[in-house]
């Protein structure tokens, strides 16, 4: 399928082909769910931790004798029923991250791109950069497209000056075509893809299943 390519001023230029196997596949809700869940799990720190009865500070001596005091029997002050005692089945340091099969991740990315294309939330723009690295230069371009919406710009190569121009814009994300994040793509309201990045996406995700 073909899509219109726009200049930085918003005017229409020519058309470019979007590979059907990347931008027009049957949407897999399951793969999108697993990709989002995987990325969020990999971001978890897993630093929550508590001490068990063997780890808390305190004497191991019996607080009072077993019988004759009229009080309940007790063997140690580290018991969970005591204030300052150990925690029963409390959280421990752990790693929540896990690996997602590559085919599932690829299917998720293609499904999200197809979903955004179906909802007409993708715009193609000619290759550009912010030579000065100033935010106002990038804002001047974005106002011709979606200035007030959460936008993801997909680029074909790392552009330090372009990223510098956009780092002060809270509703803007930059993603390289071969390092796409499902979470950013899915929750981004609009996708702005550089013309060369479209060709790279067609090749990178269309060449393999």
Query: The domain 2-44+101-206 is classified under which CATH number: 3.40.50.261, 3.40.50.300, 3.40.1370.10, 1.20.58.190?
Result: 3.40.1370.10
What's the pLDDT score for residue 31?
A: 97
The first and second tokens of residue 170, run together, are 């809270």
Sequence spans of domains, the chain: 2-44+101-206, 50-95
CB-CB contact of 129 with 172 (8 Å): no
First to last CA, the chain: 19
Contact residues for 100 (Cβ-Cβ < 8 A; gap 6+): 34, 35, 38
Alpha-carbon gap, residue 72 to 159, rounded angstroms? 71
The rounded average pLDDT for each run of 10 residues, N- to C-terminus, in the chain (209 residues) is: 89 91 95 97 95 90 94 92 93 96 96 95 92 90 84 93 92 93 94 94 80
């Amino acid at each position: 399928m073909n899509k219109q390519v726009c200049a930085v001023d918003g005017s229409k230029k020519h058309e470019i082909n979007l590979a059907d196997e990347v931008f027009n596949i049957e949407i897999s809700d399951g793969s999108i769910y697993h990709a989002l869940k995987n990325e969020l799990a990999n971001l978890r720190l897993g630093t929550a931790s508590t001490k068990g009865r063997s780890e808390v500070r305190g004497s191991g001596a019996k607080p009072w004798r077993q019988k004759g005091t009229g009080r309940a029997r007790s063997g140690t002050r580290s018991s969970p029923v005591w204030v300052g005692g150990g925690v029963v089945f409390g959280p421990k340091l752990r790693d929540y991250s896990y690996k997602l099969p590559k085919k599932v991740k690829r299917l998720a990315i293609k499904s999200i791109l197809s979903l955004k294309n179906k909802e007409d939330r993708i715009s193609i723009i000619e290759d550009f950069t912010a030579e000065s690295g100033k935010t106002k230069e990038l804002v001047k371009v974005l106002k011709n497209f979606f200035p007030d919406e959460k936008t993801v710009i997909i680029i074909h190569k790392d552009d330090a000056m372009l990223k510098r121009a956009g780092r002060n814009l809270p509703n803007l994300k930059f993603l390289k075509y071969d390092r796409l994040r499902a979470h950013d793509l899915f929750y981004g309201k609009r996708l702005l893809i550089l013309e060369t990045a479209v060709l790279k996406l067609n090749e990178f995700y269309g060449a393999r299943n």
